[in-house]
Amino acid sequence: MSGTPSERLKELGLTLPPPPKPAGTYSSVVLDGDHAWVSGQIVLQGGAILHPGLVDREVPPDTAKQVARQAALQAVSALHDALGTIDRVRRIVRVTVYVASVPSFGRQHEVANGATEVLTAIFGEAGRPARAAIGVASLPLNAPVEVDMVVALTEA
């Protein structure tokens, strides 16, 4: 793999979604020294949650995996908005993938791969984070998936 993350984004034919607008008293990204903390991302489309509901009940796992991918791209968009570039990403340090789950569902790790596969496609091995994938009772606006991250940056 070669080139910068922004070059790879183009090669992959990916366009970042619009950066998220915080729906409450928080920041989408907090810059803290050489780290960026990205708030939990849920995915809306046309003002409504994309594929609302619990995974493996209203939302098929494969659909949830696509939502996880989109939430990760939205987190990358938030980083771009905060930094002016995604090429200062030194390492995606940590990603948490929260999957709204029925109690019997046990494939949160497969849903989570939707987020981390696109991160490694863009950032290479620097996009392979420590990760936790967990099944939660529900999420804001009945989103099926929420994704947050901690990112290490190079100097500005």
Looking only at residues 9 through 68 of this chain, which bind a copy of itself when binding is defined by CB under 8 A?
Answer: 23-30, 32-33, 37-40, 52, 54
Residue 61: name the closest of 20, 106, 94 by CA: 106
* Closer Cβ to a copy of itself, 86 or 149, answer by number: 149
Burial class for 44, CB neighbours closer than 10 Å (0-12, 13-18, 19+): middle
Closest CA to 119 of 67, 69, 63: 69
Q: Which residue has the tokens 């619990």?
A: 54
CA dihedral over 39, 116, 53, 63, signed as positive or negative: positive
In the complex with a copy of itself, the residue whose CB is nearer, 42 or 86, is 42
Residue 5 vs 129, nearer CB to a copy of itself? 129
Exactly one of 15, 47, 104, 156 binds a copy of itself (CB under 8 A); which one?
104
- Please give the residue ranges that form the binding site for a copy of itself (CB under 8 A): 23-30, 32-33, 37-40, 52, 54, 91, 93-96, 98, 100-110, 112-113, 116-117, 119-120, 128-143, 146, 148, 150, 152
